[in-house]
């Protein structure tokens, strides 16, 4: 069944910021005096939600450095440099294909809303979306609450909606919302972790559009 609503994740799904995030993690480790550094492949193995758990896997010690301090320093480094990140390959084509097919599109992100709005506007793609849904702080707690509220207020049937994301957490959110899910291999989490969910996994945004529009 062709969906009526696409709920897009942002970071690593539409925005190609994975390499920046690896670099920002490594810089954060250095700035707080930790010796370890991560390659892209290693980063994708440890990344996940909740963000606090990912920081623990990266080796941060919250008894020495609070999560709040770490997250603040990370975003102070990430935000100004994110302006250099491009959209993921095939992202514009996917957005245009869904719009041409008459589907509604929304971004559902764990990003801080003001950051999300700035990043979307800077890339000239706001007209594709009905709305942007982001969190009100930098600690990336719950996309589920945002999604449930949006579905309730908009009246969209969960059975006609699909989340497109790049993490196991996106699949977990989709399950909680009762919507379908397609995951992308091009983002923040290792493909084998995505495939373990049993949900469809494709290479990138354009492949997701073809899957959902052409079957």
Q: Which pLDDT does position 155 carry in this prediction?
A: 95
CATH number at 206 reads: 3.40.50.1000
Answer yes or no: is pLDDT of 140 > 50. no
Q: Encode pLDDT of 87-131 as tens digits.
A: 999 999 999 999 999 999 999 998 889 999 999 999 999 999 999
- Of 120, 175, 114, the residue nearest 143 (C-alpha): 175
> Pairing state of beta strands 180-184 and 161-165?
parallel
Same domain, 146 and 190: yes
> Contact at 8 Å (CB) between 147 and 117?
no
Q: How many domains does the chain have?
A: 2
Report how far Cα 49 is from the mean position of its chain's Cα atoms: 11
pLDDT confidence tier of residue 137, bands split at 50, 70 and 90: low
The vertex-207 CA angle with 82 and 118, nearest 5°, equals: 25
Contacts of the segment 34-38: beta carbons below 8 A, 24+ positions apart: 34/59, 34/60
144 SS3 class: helix
Q: Domain limits at 138?
A: 5-16+86-214
> Contact at 8 Å (CB) between 72 and 138?
yes
Same domain, 47 and 93: no
Same domain, 68 and 120: no
Taking CA atoms, 42 is separated from 101, 140, 166, 171, in Å, by: 38, 21, 16, 21
Domain C-terminal end among 84, 101, 132: 84
């Amino acid at each position: 069944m062709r969906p009526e609503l696409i709920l897009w994740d942002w970071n690593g799904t539409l925005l190609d910021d994975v390499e920046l995030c690896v670099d920002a993690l490594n810089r954060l480790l250095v700035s707080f005096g930790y010796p370890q550094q991560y390659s892209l492949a290693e980063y994708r193995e440890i990344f996940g939600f909740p963000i606090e758990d990912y920081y623990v896997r990266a080796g941060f010690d919250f008894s020495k450095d609070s999560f709040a301090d770490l997250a603040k320093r990370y975003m102070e480094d990430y935000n100004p440099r994110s302006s250099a990140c491009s959209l993921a390959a095939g992202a514009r084509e996917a957005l245009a294909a869904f719009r041409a097919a008459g589907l509604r599109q929304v971004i559902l992100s764990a990003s801080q809303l003001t950051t999300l709005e700035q990043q979307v506007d800077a890339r000239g793609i706001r007209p594709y979306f009905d709305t942007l849904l982001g969190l009100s702080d930098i600690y990336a707690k719950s996309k589920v609450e945002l999604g449930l509220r949006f579905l309730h207020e908009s009246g969209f049937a969960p059975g006609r909606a699909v989340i497109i994301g790049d993490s196991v957490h996106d699949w977990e959110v989709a399950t909680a919302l009762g919507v379908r899910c397609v995951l992308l291999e091009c983002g923040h989490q290792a493909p084998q972790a995505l495939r373990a969910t049993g949900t469809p996994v494709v290479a990138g945004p354009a492949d997701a559009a073809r899957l959902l529009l052409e079957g």
